[in-house]
Every structure is written in structure tokens, then in C-alpha cells.
Amino acid sequence: MKKVGILYVDDSPAQLESLRRNLTGGPYDVWTATTARSAEKYMSDADIVIIDYNMPGVNGAEALVQLRKLAPEEKQIRYYMYTTDPEAFRKHKDMGFDGVLMLKGKAGVRNQIDAVVRALKLTRWNAA
């Protein structure tokens, strides 16, 4: 079965490592980047891109715009905001995100990502 490619963009090395640890051993290939620019090399392999909303310099909505421009045209990538900010949570669709994940830094993020992947497999990866 093809592994699901997950790219996580966050300015915090500790958060990047935490997410990588939480997803290890699953059906995922996981890549991490601290900026949208450094994420560019993973866009062709990513199926899901998770972007931290609160990053210095470029917030998550701005990073989303940058990453969408870098995505291969033929690929349907899903973009998720990762935040604990209730205001950003409410506005994630208006910003262009497909969904939002909460519980930043908590083990529950694995459950959320598993649920997202299961839901997407119903339409996208069911032949894999």
C-alpha cells in the first residue's frame, strides 16, 4: 500500500519533532520544514500539508498561499491549519484551508491525522 505523504511546516523544532514522533510507525511518510520556502522540496510527494498558523514573519495563511503556488498542478493536496487559536479555527475555511487540527503538541494529534487520512481514503486512496 502506498504511504500517505504528510508535510508539516512549523517554526518550532520541538513541535516538528513531536509530530514526527507521534506519526512514526504509521502508514505515513513524514517530512518537516520550518518555513514555506524550505518545504518546497517536499511538495511533489505530499498528500497532506499541515501548517502551523502562528509562525513569526509569515503566518499560516500566508504560508498556505506560498505552498499552493509550489504544488504540482496535477496533484490534489489537502491543506490543514494546526492551531490552538480559536479565532483562526473559526476562519480557517475563509483562509483557504481544507480543515484544521487542534491540540497542538498533544498526543491527540495522531488520532486527528489518522481520522483525516481515513476520511480522505474514502475518496482518494481507496484504490491504494
Q: pLDDT band at 11, cuts 50/70/90?
A: very high
- 74: helix, coil or strand? coil
How far is 59 from 63, CA to CA, in rounded Å? 6
Class of domain 4-121: alpha beta
Lowest pLDDT segment from 3-17, 63-77, 110-124: 110-124
- Does 125 have pLDDT greater than 50? no
Q: Give residues with Cβ within 8 angstroms of 8, minimum separation 6.
A: 16, 19, 20, 30, 31, 32, 33, 49, 50, 51, 52, 82
Q: Give residues with Cβ within 8 angstroms of 23, minimum separation 6.
A: 6, 30, 110, 113
Q: pLDDT band at 66, cuts 50/70/90?
A: very high
Domain ranges in the chain are 4-121
Please compute the mean of the pLDDT values over residues 1-6 and round it to a whole number.
83
The per-residue pLDDT for 103 is: 56
Cα angle for residues 12, 16, 17 (degrees, 5° grid): 115
Q: The pTM is what?
A: 0.85
- 65: helix, coil or strand? helix
